[in-house]
């Protein structure tokens, strides 16, 4: 998928969440639809849930849905911070957390691995490509 399209999806998501927090009632449903379209687009392009970018999109949509359950609304605040970290610094907290799952790593889970995943500086490209062996 084109880098510009990927970035546009995330920019529109951040804008939609900001509008939701500002009180626009239609914003959250639009963000949900946009992210549903993004998931379908990425899954059609990747044809699998195995790639990290597909997992991130599905996980983000799942968290959006979870955040709609009354007292779980702070999940959307965390997502807003995360999507802006991605846009500003190319740091995706969700991707880094997903890398801790057994099917996404090639080495045993350890504090050193978790520390590296969460604290290594952001760089362009996927964190999966930089995972230490």
pLDDT for residue 5: 93
**Chunked in runs of 10, what are the mean pLDDT values of the chain (133 residues)?**
90 98 98 98 94 96 97 97 96 96 92 94 86 70
pLDDT at residue 126, as a whole number:
84
66 in Cβ contact with 76 (< 8 Å) = no
Alpha-carbon separation of residue 54 from 2, 21, 22 (angstroms): 14, 27, 29
- Angstrom distances, CA of residue 44 to CA of 1, 62, 78: 10, 18, 28
Report the domain count for the chain. Answer: 1
Residue 47: give the domain boundaries. Answer: 3-130
Q: What is the pLDDT of residue 53?
A: 93
Of 111, 117, 75, which is closest to residue 95 (Cα–Cα)?
Answer: 117
Q: Distance between CA atoms of 11 and 17, rounded to whole angstroms?
A: 10
For position 100, what pLDDT does the model report? Answer: 95
pLDDT value for 133: 60
- pLDDT given at position 30: 98
């Amino acid at each position: 998928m084109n880098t510009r399209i990927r970035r546009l999806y995330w920019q529109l998501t951040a804008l939609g969440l900001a509008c939701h927090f500002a009180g626009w009632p239609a914003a959250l449903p639009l963000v949900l639809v946009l992210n549903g379209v993004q998931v379908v687009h990425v899954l059609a392009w990747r044809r699998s849930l195995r790639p990290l970018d597909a997992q991130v999109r599905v996980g983000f949509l799942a968290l959006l849905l979870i955040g709609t359950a009354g007292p779980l609304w702070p999940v959307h605040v965390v997502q807003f911070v995360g999507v802006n970290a991605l846009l500003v610094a190319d740091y995706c907290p969700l991707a880094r957390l997903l890398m801790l799952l057994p099917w996404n790593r090639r080495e045993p889970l350890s504090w050193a691995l978790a520390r590296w995943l969460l604290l290594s500086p952001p760089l362009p490209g996927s964190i999966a490509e930089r995972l230490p062996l």
